[in-house]
Amino acid sequence: MNHRSLIWRFVALSFGILCADHAIAQDRGVAGQGRIYVGGAVGQGGYDADFERTKAVIRGTGATAFSVSANKTDTMWKGYLGYRFNPYVSVEAGYWDFGKVDLSATISAPTATSMQRSISASGMGASAVFWVPVSNSWSGLVKAGAMRTETKASAGDVGGGLTGVPAESSTKLNSHWGVGVEYRLTPAAAARIEYENVRKVGDDTKFGTADIIMWTVGASYRF
């Protein structure tokens, strides 16, 4: 199942939950609640890439026949600080840790050897968040913003007389968007489920780029 199909199923499920809750609850808004909030979340995600640049790097070592495998998913987390202007708009700024992807190349020519390399990414950024209050408990959210990402690729020791790959890094400004559902546990505390996407993280002139996909479950507290 591709990521786009998962996104639409998530949106449809979220919409159904919100509509059902709206039918049985009264929307009392967020009056009297604090505007500043902090939150954190943890979950799973992956690097959506074809690794064509990785294959070019391996060819640069002198390898002429090889295969590449990748563990594209890892645990990810984030922490953020938010300010809510009204029941419909807030801003959030935070730090994201996108885990890493492990690459393994099995080289068969001109000699039999292998290479391992890992690529990790993190980011700091800010987003505008648009809320859809449905009841006193449930709200939907859509967010869009930008973040400065840092991507690091470890060195790769090939062996077999082939040229090694040096460690590299890259910083870049990336677009960022997401959707989610929040459930208010108390006037101050809330739980949240989110899907987020960060576009073209990395560097095509070095180790390549990837869209980072991130699903999280987290909580926030409003002061």
Look up residue 194 and give its two tokens: 């989110």
pLDDT tens per residue across span 94-126: 999 999 999 999 999 999 999 999 999 999 999
Q: Is a pLDDT exceeding 60 seen at residue 11? A: no
166 Cβ contact list (under 8 Å, min separation 6) = 155
What is the average per-residue pLDDT within 138-147?
97
Look up residue 1 and give its two tokens: 């199942």
What is the average per-residue pLDDT within 50-60?
89
Instruction: Return the higher-pLDDT residue of 138 and 29.
Output: 138
Q: Is a pLDDT exceeding 70 seen at residue 54? A: yes
What's the pLDDT at 51? 84
pLDDT tens per residue across span 145-180: 999 999 999 999 888 889 999 999 999 999 999 999
Considering the domain 3-50+73-99+120-152+164-222, what is its CATH architecture?
A: Beta Barrel (2.40)
Q: Is a pLDDT exceeding 80 seen at residue 14? A: no
What is the average per-residue pLDDT within 82-103?
95
What's the pLDDT at 159? 82
Q: Is a pLDDT exceeding 60 seen at residue 20? A: no
Mean pLDDT estimate for the chain: 87
Handedness of CA 201, 203, 206, 209 (dihedral sign): positive
pLDDT tens per residue across span 182-198: 999 999 999 999 999 99
What is the average per-residue pLDDT within 17-32?
45
Look up residue 80 and give its two tokens: 């953020």
Please give the C-alpha separations between residue 149 and each of 44, 124, 125, 194, 196, in angstroms, as whole numbers: 18, 7, 8, 20, 14
Question: What ranges do the domains of the chain cover?
Answer: 3-50+73-99+120-152+164-222
Q: Report the percent of the chain where pLDDT is more than 90.
A: 74
> Would you place residue 5 in the very low, low, confident or very high pLDDT band (cuts 50, 70, 90)?
low
Contact 189, 219 (CB under 8 A): yes
- Dihedral angle, C-alpha 139, 142, 147, 152, nearest 10 °: 90
What's the pLDDT at 50? 83
Look up residue 127 and give its two tokens: 């987003």
